[in-house]
Amino acid sequence: MVNRKTISAKKRVALFAAHNGICHICGGKINVGEAWQVEHVIPFAMGGSDTEDNWRPAHTKCHKTKTVKDVADIAKAKRREARHIGVKVSKSPMPFGKGSKWKRKMDGSVVLREK
């Protein structure tokens, strides 16, 4: 696991100024004194970099909402990857593949294969 960088106050101020204090998720202005967080545009767990070009300011509430969606997307991507490389096998594989004694006809019916 890769450790994330600690973002200094100086970098947070520069990031805020570079984006004119605009939340990149909702497009709203982040007011002085309002809570905000540094958000990864491309989630770190989905291959996004932990560099300034992937950081944007976001309202705390907007960031939490996006994080919930990102967590679901990351889990789905991991399941898809596991299935793709063969780690996870289907619990109910199709019984009509090569070597099976059954075959499916074009109309959807299932019949025994002819030898």
Q: pLDDT band for position 13 (50/70/90)?
A: very high
pLDDT digits (tens, 9 = 90+) for 43-90: 888 888 888 999 999 999 999 999 999 999 999 998 888 888 877 666
pLDDT of residue 2: 59
The residue assigned the tokens 């545009």 is 41
Question: pTM for the whole thing?
Answer: 0.64
Full set of structural domains in the chain with CATH: 9-111 (1.10.30)
Containing 17, the helix (H) or strand (E) segment is helix 9-18
Token pair of 54 as six digits: 């992937």
What is the reported pLDDT for 5? 75
| pLDDT mean across residues, the chain | 86
What pLDDT is recorded for position 45?
A: 84
